[in-house]
Amino acid sequence: MTSSPEPTGSLQTALTHAARLLETHPAMAALQASEILQVAPGHPVASWVLGAAQRRTGDPGGAVEVLERLVAMQPRWAKAHYELGLALADNGRADAAGEALRRAVALKPDMPDAWRAIGDLLMLAGDAPGADAAYARHIKASTQDPRLLAPAAALVEGRIAQAESLLRAHLKQFPTDVAALRMLAEVAARLGRNADAEVLLESCLELAPGFHAARHQYALVLQRRNKPVAALREINKLETLEPRNAMLRNLKAVVLVKVGEYAESLELYAEVLRAEPRHPKIWLSYGHTLATAGRDQESIAAYRRSIELQPGLGEAYWSLANLKTFRFSDVEQRAMQTQLAGTDLTTESRVHFEFALGKALEDARRYAESFEHYVRANELRRPHLNYHAGDVSDFVRRSKQVLSREFFSARAGWGAPHADPIFIVGMPRAGSTLIEQILSSHPEVEGTMELPDLTMIVETLSGKPVPNREPSYPGLLQSLTPEDCRRLGEDYVERTRVQRKTPRPFFVDKMPNNFSHIGLLQLALPHAKIIDARRHPMACCFSVFKQHFAEGHRYSYSLEDTARYYRDYVELMDHVDRALPQRVHRVFYEDVIADPEAEVRRLLSYCGLPFDGACMRFHENDRPVRTASAQQVRQPLYREGVEHWRCYEAWLAPLEHALGEVLAAYPGTPAF
């Protein structure tokens, strides 16, 4: 059977009416379909309407029962298999749902919604390449215009450059073709050009607000672009149409974490996992959020559940290691070694296993073996990164040319008046989370996370043409007007407002890379506080080398590159100290460990805050912490970590040599 039987007369009228009610009044559609089935028991179309209506009204179990009987009677009706697949997915039976959906597209390959549902299931299962392929088939099946068949086929077959060329040529002739715009956005996303994908999808939805597949893609791109508020707006619109879509709810849980709504995110993850309990990647994300919220034992259980479901998921083992206070059992260490001995691991999983095993052996004081695993992890990861150390050195050189004392003097008084942001900058693994925890224990300071907003403002600025000036950042800062600077400061404060959960007057942004943007900070937010977290070069750089970062920090996968980055950072901060004397407050990690109260008093004095004893009891602060040091800062200070790098000193000669005079001068700075 390729289509449903054709009823006649009043039965046809009743069925048409019931089907029409599905989208707007599914409960009434179910009632009418039930009445039809009393008159015509087992009627295929009425059964399909009843099953579809039950799913839409939140009864997936009842829908599965009806639809399984239907496909048994009508095994070649693709539409029935598709609806059964959706009901099974809503009922938490992902494997069976996938089988039903694949049966649907086997019977009718041009079912776009079925391909999209398959893509959602694969994405939930962590199979990104499979999901991409299914989404490409969805786009191809959605395409009715014969002129788009060639680029759609190229997209499905992975010929991305050809697809892009064909689509651009088509859009020159037909610039308002929403199907082509959406396809080109998919091409841009595949190529990592998410900013282009965002613009294309905005245009697409302006032309066709009801294009729901494009809106779903838009929400994903906004999430990747670190625009969580905008992403949530799109997700909420889609939720009214698909309130039980697990993929959508999982995406919402991810985005809620980005705006600091951890309780709501955890609740949503728990709901998704009740419906989809066998997806290891969702357990992994749930574990991350539990760890951020300080629910350590529950996060460990979630990570272990992820491992049970997918023993080769190296990221789950690394997530356990990344808790820092967790210790692997002998059984878990042997399991990691067994996985690494196999040949079927992806490179990504192998990297995670190497880092995790390095940490496990470090905790067991088997330092030589531990170092070997750290080296292998970094060697596996580094070739996949497009990093050139000279780019950072060149940026520092250009910054020193532009950001002179005279430059800032000529712009004194510019910017927005806000004094509430407190920026903590520097290298990662240098004690910034500890400083944030101390500050956020003060009753006037709120902790947030490493906020991407300043970086996003810089990205936006860098696309702005600057007449008669060097077009690259930071050269373009020379062209900003007082009004530009005030607007940029206001923009930052407005962007970060979503992170403010309390009425406390100050908040912390601890994105370490913001040391690159102190020039912009001074122009846009001259009253904000800036704290430079600094740690011994050997301790800091080696800690960075053995840390696998979720994103960014591309320099960190080589001891020499890390050393050079540290040198560049110190050189730029030294220049800032000369151009803006006393502007930045520096905190040395070793000093905090040696005399915490004195350092806390200095820190609070710089921030204009009265001393508060709660800052000395920072480990009692149960706020969410989203960094690798989350568990460590929930414990009292310990001195052992200061010199721990010396356990590896025998293998760190390349790092020592690359640091050179920066190491010799520490805690001072050499004459650059």
pLDDT at 24: 84
Return the amino acid letter for 594: A
Contact 315, 296 (CB under 8 A): no
pLDDT band at 299 (very low <50, low <70, confident <90, very high): very high
Tens-digit pLDDT profile for residues 535-594: 999 999 999 999 999 888 999 999 999 999 999 999 999 999 999 999 999 999 999 999
Cα–Cα–Cα angle for 175, 181, 182, rounded to 5 degrees:
165
| For residue 316, pLDDT beyond 90 | yes
Say what angle helices 280-292 and 296-309 make with each other, to 10 degrees.
170
Every domain of the chain and the residues it spans: 391-665
Contact 339, 311 (CB under 8 A): yes
Nearest to 581 by CA among 638, 654, 530: 530
CB atoms within 10 A of CB 10: 9
Once rounded to an integer, what is the mean pLDDT over residues 337-345? 94
DSSP-derived secondary structure letter, 456: H
pLDDT at 7: 46
Return the amino acid letter for 66: V
Question: By three-state DSSP, how is residue 233 classified?
Answer: helix
Residues contacting residue 35 through CB under 8 Å, at least 6 positions apart? 14
In this structure, what token pair is assigned to residue 500? Answer: 């403010």
CB atoms within 10 A of CB 350: 19
Question: By three-state DSSP, how is residue 509 classified?
Answer: strand
Residues contacting residue 345 through CB under 8 Å, at least 6 positions apart? 312, 314, 339, 353
| For residue 630, pLDDT beyond 60 | no
Residue written as token pair 């939720």: 239
Write down the pTM of the prediction.
0.83
Tens-digit pLDDT profile for residues 282-298: 999 999 999 988 899 99
Question: Poorest-confidence range of 64-73, 118-127, 175-184, 654-663?
Answer: 118-127
Contact 573, 588 (CB under 8 A): no
Return the amino acid letter for 269: Y
Residues contacting residue 384 through CB under 8 Å, at least 6 positions apart? 347
* 326/301 Cα distance (integer angstroms): 12
Peptide bond before residue 636 is cis, with ω within 30 degrees of 0: no
Nearest to 565 by CA among 516, 629, 530, 509: 516
| For residue 465, pLDDT beyond 70 | no
pLDDT at 624: 64
Expressed in angstroms, the distance from the first to the final Cα of the chain is 79
In this structure, what token pair is assigned to residue 257? Answer: 């974490």
Which of 153-157, 207-211, 416-420, 622-626 holds the top average pLDDT? 416-420
The top-level CATH class assigned to 391-665 is: alpha beta
- In this structure, which long-range contacts are made by residues 12-20, counting pairs with CB atoms below 8 Å and at least 24 apart in sequence? 15/45, 15/46, 15/49, 18/46, 18/49, 18/53, 19/45, 19/49
pLDDT band at 459 (very low <50, low <70, confident <90, very high): confident
Alpha helices of 364-471 — where are they, by DSSP H?
A: 367-381, 389-402, 405-409, 432-440, 453-462
Which H or E run contains 532? strand 529-534
- Phi–psi pair at 24, nearest 5 degrees: -105, -40
Tens-digit pLDDT profile for residues 219-266: 999 999 989 999 999 999 999 888 888 889 999 999 999 998 999 999
| For residue 54, pLDDT beyond 70 | yes
CB atoms within 10 A of CB 331: 7
* 617/271 Cα distance (integer angstroms): 35
Mean pLDDT of the chain: 91
* 577/585 Cα distance (integer angstroms): 10
* 135/259 Cα distance (integer angstroms): 28
Nearest to 534 by CA among 502, 497, 505, 572: 572
Contact 272, 250 (CB under 8 A): yes
